[in-house]
Structure 1
Amino acid sequence: MSNLGSITAESLELTKESLFKGDNALKKGLYVNSGFVPYDLQAPAKNLYPTITPLRNALPRIQRTNPGDAAHWRVVSSITGSGYDSMGWVPEGQRSSSMSYNATTTTAPYFTIGEEDYITFEAEAAAQGFEDLQATASLRLLQKTMRKEEGALLSGNTSLALGTASAPTLSASGTGATLPALTYSVIVVCLTSEGFSNNGRLVGTVLAGAALPTQKVITGNDGNTYTLNGGVSNKSPNTLQAVTLGQTLFATTNVINGAVAYAWYVGAAGSETLQQITTINSATFTAPLVSGTQPAASLIADYSRNNGLAFDGLLTVGFNPANGAYVQALAAGTAGVGTFLTASGRGSVNEIDNMLVAMWNNYRLSPTVIYVNVQEQRNITQKCLTNASGPLVRYQVSSDGADRGPNPYGVTAGGVVRWYYNPFSVDGGFDIPVKVHPDLPPGTILAWCETLPVWYQSNQVPNVAEVLTRRDYYRVDWPVRTRRREFGVYAEETLAVYAPFGVGLLTNIGNG
């Protein structure tokens, strides 16, 4: 029997080799016809999600040695000479009077950012030979925490409350619209940059089920709860406007400092629902209203900031009037259209030029980078590359022919403005890179001076802003409570903006 078993086993192996070796037709037919086919799974999993963090990558990170609960620094913002501030004349043998200082103390509390994940025992076992779940889950967790940190550095808001939006101004006119005849009531709500991101960065007419983020109660993995505000203001008073069939309903509200978008609630009085989101302070309505969206009555308070849980990001620092940053909101213009950036006729944009002039005149500095949404990158390019600016466009070919390729005079279509020249500088001007930021809302431009010029650096603090860390990224592996491993990635930090006047903002920019 043992010999027969050996022969049987050998026969089975020869049969398998005959059937399944190489590209055997019988193998294919057997697999496909019977439903048993190979499963070619590439390892490890493909991570197809963006992890763009330009501010986090650019800002210096400083680990504090004795951090306490907050970072503190003393700011001497001006020195004023005696007599006439700009005159130093003193008679022979006499003494000058004493100069004076304007000094303040700044405090920036540390706050925690973080995210958690888990791996079940079964998932860990099943992934053997596919990927190291401990390592890959930790990487994804760190990447998500960094993306959340990027949002905080750009849009975090602890100090600037939007309050209650202003009642909109309405009108109706025109022909050809399909908005049904009715006396419409319109309410508007303002969104911070955080609110715009929490709403999915949506612009235009909303879909059924749409709702603004107000508050969210979060139950942590420790069982405790906390509440985050979503980044929207309280609703405005309503305004009424009669509309006849064929007319377009126009709505405009006042620009609210700190708002980067506006949500419009429309309907019969008392039944207003969310209909549209714009990144300018106006909107138009031409079609029947969308049903099944958030009612305005659900917004009962200002949910625009997270006081005591967050630090201010660069946008909030710029918008806060106490900081002296340059902020220019473009005029309302035509409802639903807004006001566009304007071409100077010399290859630049008037509004950006005005910002550069103001920052130089007031503080003797210039932005070193300009962040834009793709909408503004396109609009800046259209304003700079016009017929009037044609003589200023340079066509450059290497004299040695090294970069000519097969077509030495080829022109690449679809170019954009990558650099913006600032002539307002002691050293005769320089190029400012224009970069797309993935989280910056349309209609807003952020310019900031990453490093102070040399005439500010006698205090050994050349950076306009730094990330001060009490404890930089760290992973916590929590005790096992169930048959899964729980872990989190956290960081304890604050954004210290030493020179907030190094921030410049243009907002309420129309798309065109």
Structure 2
Amino acid sequence: MALPANLELLFGESPEAPKLSKAEVSERFDDLIKSIGDMPERELSREEIVTSFRGGQPIDFSSRPTNAYQYVQKALGAPELNKAISPDTVASVMAALDGLKSQQPDLVKDINLTSPVGTGLVAFDLEAPAKILAPRPTPLRNSIPRIKGNGTSHRFKVISGFTGSGTGGVGNIHPGILDTTQNNFAPSGSSNSLYYARGPKISYAGYDVVLPYSQFSMSDEVTWSAQYGGQGYQDIRQLSRTSLLYASMLMEERMLLMGRGTASGYAGALAAPTGTSLVDNTLGTGQVALTGYTTNIYVYVTADAGAFGESVVSTVATIAPTAGHNVVLRLTDVPQALGYKVYIGTGASQPANSSFFFYGRFPNQAANGGGAGGTGIVLQGAIPTSGANPPTADSSAYAAGYDGILAWAMGTSSGYNVKINSTFSTSNPGSEFQTAFASLYNSVKADPDRILFNGADRKQQSDTLKAGSSNNYFLQITQDEVRGVALGSVAVAIMNETTGKRVEMEVNPWLPQGVCPILSDTLPIPDTQVSNVWSVVNVQDLMGIDWPVTQFAYESSSYWFGSFICYAPAWNGCVSGVTAA
């Protein structure tokens, strides 16, 4: 190896030694390195190192103070301090320290994730902006045509039938004539007789439709402190406007589906359930006893209108159940109800309205098995002791509102409306809808386009293909699926056995369980002057307004003015009362 340049300074010539050659200097360096390499190795312990700095005396680390309190405590016990301070004074100071220790725990803590600040001396890894996880699907609003309206109402005239159509209550006339045939052609209402040798005159039926427009609006507010405080994290005004837009669209979606209006031409409020009674019931299979009462129970029922409310309450029904039994609630179906809401109170006498609490919603009067020799809603399990109280006024319909799809499809002008009060058939899957298709075709030659389902009802209908052992459906696994079978089968459409048309099955995210409207989007009739059976007619479509600043806040509103129209309600229908599987 090469010699360092300064080796001569270490091993070379000095006043007391003769000059060495380079070979001799190199040999001395090698001897030094070898000696260093041959030195014995030893690792000193912590105690040995500290002892070397304390005159060879070992240190007792177990008695070493570890926090501020212990340092002060040790200092008070030092001999030097005890000479200058009386024992009573030292004891007093120690007592004060003990009290301070309990009041100020940070005196006895190290710095960690909770000390000296409870939330820690740490940074926040806050990701901006806020995540908006609110679902906002609006399939009806996205698909139903929107047309321009004028004035304060939408009007149209309907020719509902004429001779030979079989609709509108118009009868049939045989068209055969003879040379001697004479028919009266005098104007209607005239007492004159004008007979001609002609075939008989045809007849017509028709009616006017006047549907008033309603105004709709929603609003939001952002305070200045929220807007400016959010700088660097999120634009709060932008969030407010976006949320307001989506909220308006989502509420319109629900109105298109479940709205009910009270103005002339609309369906109006739902009637309260009638015929309510309670029957003591011995427990059936899978049922449990009713609990949470000592004497009587009292029950109110309302007709469910969906997203926007319910009817007024029924008359109260009461019973003193047998211990270990449950109770069956029976009632008379309300034709257009989407289900029923039950409220229960208890006591020796009928309690105040504020002591009745919401028990549950049921899609029909046979919602969970019935009992006591008939159908009904089984009241079982614990009676609620808190929650919503029965309504004191109707909220099923609104003066500023219109009829939605369900009000039309289940209303008096609907072409077909039935409550099956059961699950879907497994012995003949889809039979409930085949019956509806046949009825609609026989009445007005309707050929529906789609059926809307709640997600649970769509799954139940799909499962009917697998549930019935006597049906003629089977599932087949093809060769390429042997190593990776996709579980589940989905019914996507129903073939109309009456007309041969494929009727699509669609899930609507806001449709209540138990209700399946059958819809026609177009009419299977030429030259009807109806391009779309369903239309949104707005004088002013959805718009946004930013209000002038009149306080320390930014305020916004949405606004639209119009109605929802069904030009041919008889071409639509509904299967309801579907019990959850």
Short-chain TM bin: 0.7 to 0.9
State yes or no: 1:177 paired with 2:280: no
Number of residue pairs the alignment of both structures matches: 422
Query: Does residue 353 of the first structure (1) align with residue 353 of the second (2)?
Result: no
Deviation at 1:392, TM superposition (A): 3.8
- Alpha-carbon distance in 2 for matches of 1:458, 1:129: 60
| Map of 1:474 onto structure 2 | 543
The residue type equivalent to 2:246 in the other structure is: Q
Give the aligned partner of residue 330 of structure 2: 252
SS at match of 1:57: helix
* Deviation, structure 1 residue 396: 8.6
* Counterpart position of 2:172: 85
1:414 to 477, 488, 494: 488
The structure-2 alpha-carbon separation of the partners of 1:349 and 1:40, relative to structure 1 and needing over 3 Å to count, comes to same
- 1:193·1:441 contact (CA, 8 Å) conserved in 2? yes
Counterpart secondary structure, 2:536: strand
Residue 440 of structure 1: aligned partner: 511
Mapped to 2, the partners of 1:74 and 1:385 lie a distance apart of 48
Among residues 199, 222, 227, which one is paired with 1:119 in the alignment?
222
Report if aligned partners of 2:426, 2:464 keep a CA contact under 8 Å in 1: yes
- Whole-Å separation in 1 of the counterparts to 2:280 and 2:511: 32
Change in Cα spacing, 1:388 to 1:124, as seen in structure 2 (3 Å) is same
Q: 1:459 aligned to 2:518?
A: no
Question: Separation in 1 of the partners of 2:306 and 2:133?
Answer: 25
Corresponding residue of 2:396: 304
Counterpart CA distance in 1 for 2:403 and 2:574 is 15
Residue among 567, 573, 579 paired with 1:498: 567
Contact (CA 8 Å) 1:375, 1:442: kept in 2 or not? yes
Change (3 A) 1:38 1:256: same
Q: Following superposition of structure 1 onto structure 2, how do residues 300-379 of structure 1 map, counting pairs within 5 Å?
A: 300-306=392-398, 308-321=399-412, 323-331=413-421, 339-345=422-428, 348-379=429-460
**What amino acid does structure 2 have at the position aligned with 1:330?**
I
Report the equivalent of 1:423.
Answer: 497
- Give the match for residue 166 of structure 1: 274
Match of 1:168, SS? strand
- Which among 276, 287, 297 is matched to residue 381 of structure 2? 287
* 8 Å Cα contact 1:318-1:505 kept in structure 2: yes
Residue in structure 2 matching 1:104, options 189, 193, 207: 207
Change (3 A) 1:184 1:140: closer
Instruction: Return the alpha-carbon distance in structure 2 between the equivalents of residues 191 and 246 of structure 1.
Output: 30
For residues 434-478 of structure 1, what are the alpha-carbon distances to aligned partners after superposition, in whole Å with 9 as ceiling and x for unaligned? Answer: 12112211111111111222x2x4133221110011111111111
User: 1:156·1:310 contact (CA, 8 Å) conserved in 2?
Assistant: yes
Residue 73 in structure 1 maps to residue 126 in structure 2 = no
Distance 1:355 1:280, change over 3 A: same
1:62 & 1:364 partners in 2: Cα distance?
27
Aligned amino acid, residue 146 of structure 1: M
Deviations, residues 396-428 of structure 1 (Å, cap 9, x unaligned): 96xxx9xx5xx5674311222121111322xxx
- Deviation larger for 264-273 or 96-105: 264-273
CA gap of 1:148–1:39, structure 2 versus 1, over 3 A, is same
Counterpart pick for 2:253 among 150, 155, 161: 150
**Cα-to-partner distance string for 1:367-410 (whole Å, 9 max, x where unaligned):** 2111111221122112233455775447596xxx9xx5xx5674
Q: Are the equivalent residues in 2 in contact too, given 1:420–1:434 (CA < 8 A)?
A: yes
Give the Cα–Cα distance (whole angstroms) in 2 for the partners of residues 287 and 119 of structure 1.
45
CA distance in 2, matches of 1:371, 1:481: 46
After TM superposition, the structure 1 stretch with the greater mean CA deviation from structure 2, 408-417 or 237-246, is 408-417
For 2:146, the equivalent position in structure 1 comes to 61
Matched AA of 2:137? I
Separation (CA, whole Å) in 1 of partners of 2:439 and 2:171:
24
Deviation at 1:327, TM superposition (A): 0.7
- Which one of the candidate residues 326, 339, 350 is aligned to 1:270? 350
Cα distance in 2, alignment partners of residues 63 and 509 from structure 1: 37
Q: Could you tell me which of 138, 143, 146 is aligned with 2:241?
A: 138
User: 1:261 pairs with 339, 355, 361, which one?
Assistant: 339
Moved more, 411-420 or 309-318: 411-420
Shift of 1:293: 4.1
Amino acid across the alignment from 2:172: D
CA distance in 2: counterparts of 1:84 and 1:104, whole angstroms: 17
SS at match of 1:123: helix
Name the amino acid aligned to 1:261: G
Show structure 1 runs of 5+ residues with no match: 1-28, 196-230, 332-338
Contact 1:166 1:254 in 2 (8 A): yes
Cα offset for 1:482? 0.8
Q: CA deviation at 1:86?
A: 6.1
Deviation at 1:497?
A: 0.7
| Secondary structure of 1:385 counterpart | helix
CA displacement, residues 235-280 of structure 1 (integer Å, 9 cap, x when unaligned): 2222333322111111111111221121223334412723332222
Return the offset for 1:500: 0.8
Matched with 2:130 is: 45
Shift in Å, 1:502: 2.4
Shift of 1:356: 1.1
Q: CA deviation at 1:292?
A: 3.0
SS at match of 1:360: helix
CA distance in 1, matches of 2:245, 2:570: 32
Question: In structure 2, how many angstroms separate the alpha carbons of the residues matched to 1:250 and 1:311?
Answer: 36
Range that drifts further, 411-420 or 122-131: 122-131
Q: Contact (CA 8 Å) 1:349, 1:384: kept in 2 or not?
A: no
Per-residue Cα deviation, 1:44-67 (whole angstroms, up to 9, x for no partner): 332111111111111001123xx0
TM-score (norm 2): 0.67
1:162/1:257 contact within 8 Å kept: no
Counterpart amino acid of residue 357 in structure 1? A
Instruction: Please identify the structure whose Cα radius of gyration is greater.
Output: 2
Q: Secondary structure at the match of 1:71?
A: strand
Query: How far 1:355 sits from its partner (Å)?
Result: 0.8
Is the Cα–Cα contact under 8 Å of residues 277 and 318 in structure 2 kept in the other structure? no
CA distance in 1, matches of 2:221, 2:533: 38
Deviation for aligned residue 1:489: 1.5
AA partner of residue 49 (structure 1):
A
Q: Deviations over 1:73-112 (max 9, x none)?
A: 1111111259972643344694222212112111121112
C-alpha deviation, 1:313, in angstroms? 0.5
Q: What is residue 383 of structure 1 aligned with on the other side?
A: 464
